[in-house]
Amino acid sequence: MYQIKVIRNFSGAHFLREYKGKCESLHGHNWKVEVIAESLELDSLGMVLDFGDLKKMIDQVLDELDHKLLNDLESFKECNPSSENIAHYIYCRLKDELSDSPVNLDQVRVWETDSSCATYKES
């Protein structure tokens, strides 16, 4: 199995509804997003997927989140925009983008600080 990883960033604000603590208040993060894609075989150029193509796909998804109040987005109207739910959201959007490709999406990891992250992957 071959894997590639791309790291991108976005900034946004959120608050966690019904959370009893500081995160219940509006605050922001500079999130770091790691995306790992994989394939059993390499393409004719010897790649899983061109890094530039994967970056473009990720950036299109992150543009929907960047400099937004995440709670206002339709996808987070009913579920909290926690790092876990953000990772799941990004994973699902990218999975759709790669659906016609021989490349599989392995996981999405979202860092809200240098020491705290959440990962989503299908089992």
The angle subtended at Cα 103 by Cα 41 and Cα 74, nearest 5°, is 170
Tokens found for residue 103: 């490349």
* List 23, 34, 38, 84, catalytic entry: 23
* 67 given a catalytic annotation: yes
* 23 given a catalytic annotation: yes
* 24 given a catalytic annotation: no
CA 111 and chain centroid, separation = 10
What residues have CB less than 8 Å from 40, skipping those under 6 apart? Answer: 1, 2
The Cα–Cα gap between 106 and 120 comes to: 9
Question: Would you say 98 and 108 are in contact if contact means Cβ atoms under 8 Å apart?
Answer: no
Nearest alpha-carbon partner for 28 in 9, 13, 11: 13
* List 24, 27, 67, 79, catalytic entry: 67
Residues designated as active site: 23, 67, 112
